[in-house]
Amino acid sequence: MKKSIIILLIYTIIETLGANEGQNNVIFSVLQADSNKIILDEIVASIGSRIITTSDLEFATQAQQYQMGLHNLSAEDENRLRCAVFEKLVLQKLLVDQAELDSIVITDAQLNERLDYNLRYQLAQMGNDSKKLEEYYGKSIAEIKADSREQLREELLADEAQKTITSKINIIYQEVKQYYESIPADSLPILPAEYEIAHIVKTPKVSDAEKIAAKERLEELRDRSLKGENFTTFARMYSEDPGSASRGGEIGFTGRGELYTEFENVAYGLQPGEISPVVETKAGYHIIRMIERRGDRINVAHILIKPKPSPEETSGAKDFLDSIYNLLANNELSFDSAAKIFSDDPSKTNYGKLVNPYTASYSFDSLTLLNYDKTLFYTVQGLDENKYSRPIPMITEDGNQAYHIVCLKVKHPSHIIDMSQDYEKIKNAALENKKENALDKWAKNKVKYTHVKINSKYYDCSFVTQWNVPTKINQ
C-alpha cells in the first residue's frame, strides 16, 4: 500500500464490503449498481471455494469511495481505486480461509458489537438521521443489520487471521523516523483540529403519570386491533419509531441479539398474527405483532410510544444546570467535581469525558465531531480550553431529550503532521505499513497453495502480477 494512503488511514475509517458465497460460475442476474449503471453480474475471482462477483466489487468500490469522500474521480483514478478494493477483497477471502484452518470463531456477541459500531458510524455520516440512512439503503435499520451480518462475520474472521499473522511485529524509533523521512514534504498530510470534551448532563424525569398514559394509549390501540381495526394503520398514524412507522410498523427479518432483549423475549413467543401486551424497553413502550417466522429469524411490526417529560420537568432540568453553571462561573465548584456528582450520564465516572465511539479514545477530530453532533461541534468552536457553555439541549443515546453543559478540555489546532507533536500517530502508521508489507509477503506465499482465479478484465491490477496468481478466468 502506498505511503500516502497509509498516512490517510491515520484519520480515515475504511470499511470494505465482503462478498456472498455459494454462487455458480455464471450468474444470470441484472442489478442496479447506481443510478447510472446497469451491471450484468459475473464472477471476477474465485479463491478456494469462495467467489467475488462484479456486484461485490462495484458495491465495495462505491462504499470505499463514499467513506473516503472521493467524488467525481477520473476514469484512471476510479480504476486504480477499484483495483485496490479488489485486492482487499481477494486478501479477505485468503484470510478467511486461513481463519478456518486455524479454527478461529467469531461469537454472536462480537458480531453484534461490531454491527452496532458500524451502524453508529453510518448514522454519523448521515447526521444521525436514521430515516436518511434507511432511505439511502432502501431498508429498515434492522434489515441493514441483518443483511450485513454474514458479510461482517467474514470480515471479522479475516481481521482475526490478520492479527495472528502480524501479532509479533514491532517497531523501533529508528524505523519510525525513517518512515517519516521517506515521505516527501509536500505529501505530508494536514491533520484536522482535535478536541477533548466533557459534559454534565441532566435528563428531565418522566413522571409516572406520563408512563401510565403511554401504556394506556397502547393498550387502547391493542384492544382496537384485536377487535378488527387495522394495526398497520395505527402504526403509521401513532408510532414514534421513524424507521418503521411509514411501513406500518414492520421492522423486517431480524435474528436474536439484534433488538432490545425485552422486545425479543416477547416477540419470539408470539404466533403469526398475535399481538403482544405492552412491552417496555429503553426506547419506550411497544406493542408487537408477529408477521412471520422463518427458523430463528422473525419479522414483526410494532407501535412505539415514548413517554415524555412534562414541560415543568424539562424546564426544571435546565434550571438545575443553570444553577450548576453559576457555581462553576463563580469558582465555587470545579467542572470535574460537578460532572462526577451531578451528571446523569454514565461518563460521570470519568468526570464527564466524552468517548469517541469510532476510535474509543477521548479525542474527536473536527470532521468526526461535526458528523457526530453538529450542535456540539459549533458549541466547542466558541470555547477556549477549560471553558464551558451554558446549558444547551441534547438528545441522549436512548433518544431522550436532555440538557448539558459542555466543557472544551483540550484543543489541538490543525497542523501538518510532525514527529514532535504526532509521534504516536506516525508510529502507528509506520507500524501498519510494516504489517502491510508482512501481510503482502504472506499473501504471495498463500496463493501458491490456494486455488485462485482472476477474471482477465483485471489483469492490469498490480497485485495480480505481484502475487503471481496462478490461474485466470477468461472473459
Confidence class of residue 37 from pLDDT cuts 50, 70 and 90? very low
How much is the mean pLDDT over the chain? 85
Strands 452-455 and 471-473: parallel
Average pLDDT of the residues in 3-18: 33
Give the integer Cα–Cα distance in Å for 318 and 350. Answer: 22
Alpha carbon 320 to its chain centroid, in Å, reads 34
Q: What is the pLDDT of residues 425-467, one digit of tens each?
A: 999 999 999 999 999 999 999 988 888 899 888 888 988 878 8
Higher pLDDT among residues 28 and 119, named by residue: 119
Average pLDDT of the residues in 118-128: 70
Burial of 404 (0-12, 13-18, 19+ CB in 10 A): buried
Architecture of domain 3-188+417-473: Orthogonal Bundle (1.10)
Q: What is the pLDDT of residues 245-273, one digit of tens each?
A: 888 999 888 878 778 899 999 999 999 99
Closest CA to 27 of 451, 455, 447, 452: 455
Give the CATH number of domain 208-305: 3.10.50.40
Confidence class of residue 112 from pLDDT cuts 50, 70 and 90? confident
pLDDT given for residue 9 in this prediction: 34
CB 428 within 8 A of CB 180: no
pLDDT given for residue 216 in this prediction: 95
Has residue 111 got a pLDDT over 90? no
Alpha carbon 80 to its chain centroid, in Å, reads 26
Alpha carbon 108 to its chain centroid, in Å, reads 17
pLDDT given for residue 7 in this prediction: 33
CB 284 within 8 A of CB 240: yes
Confidence class of residue 40 from pLDDT cuts 50, 70 and 90? low
CB 2 within 8 A of CB 80: no
pLDDT given for residue 73 in this prediction: 82
pLDDT given for residue 401 in this prediction: 86
- Alpha helices for 171-300 (secondary structure H): 173-181, 208-226, 231-238, 261-267
Tell me if 3-188+417-473 shares its fold with 208-305. Answer: no
Q: What is the pLDDT of residues 335-387, one digit of tens each?
A: 999 999 999 999 999 999 999 988 888 999 998 899 888 999 999 999 999 99
Residue located via cell numbers 439511502: 136
Q: Which of 126-135, 218-227, 463-472 has the lowest mean pLDDT?
A: 126-135
Average pLDDT of the residues in 228-236: 94
Residue located via cell numbers 457555581: 327
Would you call 292 helix, strand, or coil by DSSP? Answer: strand
Closest CA to 66 of 114, 13, 18: 13
Cβ within 8 Å of residue 256, ≥6 positions away? 108, 264, 268, 296
Q: What is the pLDDT of residues 389-399, one digit of tens each?
A: 999 999 887 77
Strands 387-388 and 401-412: antiparallel
Higher pLDDT among residues 29 and 131, named by residue: 131
Would you call 175 helix, strand, or coil by DSSP? Answer: helix
Give the integer Cα–Cα distance in Å for 255 and 137. Answer: 19
Confidence class of residue 407 from pLDDT cuts 50, 70 and 90? very high
Confidence class of residue 146 from pLDDT cuts 50, 70 and 90? confident
Q: What is the pLDDT of residues 66-89, one digit of tens each?
A: 777 777 888 888 889 999 999 999
Confidence class of residue 473 from pLDDT cuts 50, 70 and 90? low
Higher pLDDT among residues 34 and 12, named by residue: 34
pLDDT given for residue 201 in this prediction: 96
Alpha carbon 204 to its chain centroid, in Å, reads 29
CB-CB neighbours of 238 under 10 Å: 15
Average pLDDT of the residues in 130-152: 78
Would you call 282 helix, strand, or coil by DSSP? Answer: coil
Higher pLDDT among residues 73 and 2, named by residue: 73
Average pLDDT of the residues in 200-225: 94
Listed by start position, the domains of the chain span 3-188+417-473, 193-205+309-413, 208-305
Residue located via cell numbers 474521480: 73
Give residue 306's identity as a one-letter amino acid code: K
Q: Which residues pair with 250 in a beta bridge?
A: 301
Give the CATH number of domain 193-205+309-413: 3.10.50.40
Average pLDDT of the residues in 42-52: 90
State the cell numbers at 337: 467535581
Report the share of the chain in percent with pLDDT over 90.
55
Would you call 109 helix, strand, or coil by DSSP? Answer: helix
Confidence class of residue 301 from pLDDT cuts 50, 70 and 90? very high
